[in-house]
A and B are shown apart, each in its own frame.
Chain A
Amino acid sequence: MSSESAIDVHGLSKSFGDKHVVNDLNLQVGKGEIFGFLGPNGSGKTTVIRMLCGLLTPDAGSGTCLGFDVLSQSAEIKKQVGYMTQRFSFYEDLSIRENLDFVARLYDMPNRKQTVQAGMEDLGLMDRADQLAGTLSGGWKQRLALAACMLHRPRLLLLDEPTAGVDPKARRDFWDEIHRLAEQGISVLVSTHYMDEAARCHRLAYIAYGHLLASGTPEALIDQSGLSSFSVKDNSSALAERLRKLPGVQQVVAMGNVYSVSGQDGALIEAGLAGLPDVRFERTDTGLEQVFIQLMENVQDAAP
């Protein structure tokens, strides 16, 4: 093994027909790191993940995944990677136990029965062990999929929107599990649309239209954005329109009767807010959501 990187790819590109889905993408994920992968729908996240585990062949680019060449050693990569698909893709006419048993046999796990048992216990699947996967609700299906992709103790997890449609409690359990795994040295690349999940990642990358727009720790991304945010309180419902018209205001989000206002020129906004009658406001921390919406809008402006 050459380095501490779990994933190290350069110049990754992929197009379907004349549609460029991924463009010249560089990505480094360290060992034991939880790396968040963000971007709007159709931005190429799934394509990148599929290229990393050998399901798609990149048009251009090179790099390694767990020290194996992405282009030529996908068989080796598959053995040590756990890939959780966006769409549930286990067998609905098999029970939880049978699905896991199938996976364990494919990877030739020693002590297969105990491994399957332990995998189910870890994720609380014991009560439903003999239920057919097709009859499970969305959250339980996700748990089954996670249990299955961790069964062979992979060194790298590629999770494609693993918590879509999962309730908050299950999501929190899921992320606790991810952190526990990361502490054991397992690297995780996880794509998500949830900002609270993004905040729990060690590092983030934001891609849109196949381009990597920004990457770094959540804190660094917030700093780099240069956004200042304010929370504004008022009972008048027409306030949103007035806030949008203030100089320097780039985003206005209504949250109950509190408005979150942000923009790059903090002083200008502050002056504008002070000019509004009957309005209480205070400076707040900028969230990742504002940062990413900002990134998105910049891209859309720049897009031809």
Chain B
Amino acid sequence: MKSPLAWHRLWAIVLKEFVQMRRDRITFAMMVGIPVMQLILFGFAINTDPKRLPTVVFNASPSAYTRSFVASMENSGYFDVLTSPATVAEAREAMAIGDVQFIVSIPPDFSRQLVRGEKPALLLEADASDPAATGNAISALNSLNQSALQHDLKGPLATLGTPPPSFEIRVQRNYNPEGITQYNIVPGLMGTILTMTLIMMTGMAMTRELERGTMENLLAFPVHPLEVMIGKILPYIMVGYIQVAVILIAAYFLFSVPIVGSLTLLLACVLIFLAANLTVGMMFSTIAKSQLQAMQMTFFFFLPSLLLSGFMFPFRGMPVWAQFIGEGLPLTHFLRIVRGIMLKGNGWTETWPNVWPMLVFMVVVMLIGFKRYRKTLD
């Protein structure tokens, strides 16, 4: 029995797709332009450690101590102390509108009680509707009461200062010591951009043939479904690599994201990730009846990928069932691989546990797509 697959037919499909891609200049420009634009936009824009948050201070007990405390708040970088609004009511209104993030109220007796060692309290009201925006600022403020007044509480008042703790915690921030958001976001963006553009492009591949009526001819030719599917996937692997190259160059030169591990290993893992996404697009393509439906399916898949993969929110923050879904998505594993190789310098052994799930995903999706492929017009 002769093999049902033949190189010449596969090659015919690949060449045809390339010519069509070349003709559709806008789409091609988008495939290269979108990664650059999104990378620059999000790479510079996304910051998970917001600083200089608008803060109003009502100091009813002006003294060297309280002024020193407010100064150290500003010095922490998280608080931008505003001069208005003038009253607490106005400040609360401003918080409701969203113009003010924090209101600090220092009560009238604060300084006196402080000097007497009565351990007074001050009130910090935070707009905590977005916990991520206020979390770091609040924890910074919590440590301020230990250090802010160290210089002012001297001599007889020294006993009011915080006694040195009985032991010390030394924190070592591995892989990203300065906590630079971009080190985390930029490699992650590579995965999300590839997921979106590639699934969309291949998602339209078969539906376009259906909509333009060329499917009838394609089915009348003696060409095997796998030849069509693979022939349509291969050109996009190249497109994917162009996108990866653009993103990696930008990551390295524009955002100075280190590439600690092996570039070859990274590019090899990229290939598997590309193939996994392209088969998803291909499967959608065999189910959807129009390009619009293919688009909708793409977004249906893209959103969970974005939100449950650990790109936007910490993966371990999710409940187990959500982690379970996340584990099924190729982007989850790719993010771990990319961050692992680029930031941690992971090698093959550390990478493999995230490679095989992508392979399994790809094979399963490919089988579904192959079963769904229309061999007739029935």
Contact = CB atoms under 8 A, between A and B. Distances in A.
Interface of A: 50, 53-57, 75, 78-79, 81, 83, 85, 87-94, 98, 101-103, 105-108, 132
B20 interface: yes
Nearest to A160: B216
B20 A55 contact: no
B214 A106 contact: no
Contacts, number: 75
10 contacts: A55-B216, A56-B376, A83-B220, A85-B213, A89-B214, A89-B216, A91-B16, A94-B16, A98-B19, A105-B15
A60 to B, nearest CB: 14
A88 B213 contact: yes
A89 B213 contact: yes
Interface residues of B, number: 26
A107 B222 contact: yes
B377 interface: yes
Contacts of B219: 55
Given A102-B12, A105-B9, A85 B19 contact: no
B217 interface: yes
B220 A87 contact: no
Interface in B335-356: none
Given A56-B377, A89-B213, A108-B6, A103 B221 contact: yes
B151 interface: no
Contacts of B11: 105
A94 B19 contact: yes
B6 A78 contact: no
B173 interface: no
A68 to B, nearest CB: 12
A132 B378 CA distance: 31
Interface in B10-31: 11-12, 15-16, 19-20, 23-24
B378 A85 contact: no
Given A94-B16, A103-B221, A108-B9, 11 more contacts: A50-B377, A55-B220, A78-B220, A79-B222, A89-B212, A102-B16, A105-B8, A105-B15, A106-B221, A107-B221, A132-B23
Given A105-B9, A105-B11, A106-B221, A94 B377 contact: no
B378 A57 contact: yes
Contacts of A108: 6, 8-9
Nearest to B7: A108
B223 interface: yes
A105 B6 CA distance: 11
A78 to B, nearest CB: 4
B58 to A, nearest CB: 68
Nearest to A108: B8
Contacts of A98: 16, 19
A300 B81 CA distance: 90
Contacts of A85: 213, 216-217, 220
Interface string B196-223: 0000000000000000111111011111
Nearest to B221: A106
B15 A55 contact: no
Contacts of B376: 54-57
SS of A interface (majority): loop
B214 A90 contact: yes
Nearest to B8: A108
A106 B222 contact: yes
B217 A90 contact: yes
A6 to B, nearest CB: 17
A81 B219 CA distance: 13
Contacts of A83: 217, 220
Contacts of B217: 83, 85, 89-90
Nearest to B22: A93
Interface string B171-201: 0000000000000000000000000000000
A87 B378 contact: no
* Residue of B216, B217, B219 most packed against chain A (CB within 10 A): B217
B222 A87 contact: no
For the complex of A and B, 4 pairs with smallest distance between CB atoms: A105-B12, A78-B222, A89-B217, A83-B220
Contacts of A56: 376-378
Contacts of B215: 89
Nearest to B16: A102
B31 to A, nearest CB: 16
Contacts of B9: 105-106, 108
A54 B12 CA distance: 22
A219 B12 CA distance: 46
Nearest to B223: A106
* Residue of B9, B213, B214, B222 most packed against chain A (CB within 10 A): B222
Contacts of B377: 50, 55-56
B134 to A, nearest CB: 53
A93 B219 CA distance: 19
Interface in B210-263: 212-217, 219-223
B147 to A, nearest CB: 68
Given A55-B216, A55-B377, A83-B220, A93 B8 contact: no
Nearest to B20: A93
A50 B219 CA distance: 10
B293 to A, nearest CB: 21
A55 B223 CA distance: 12
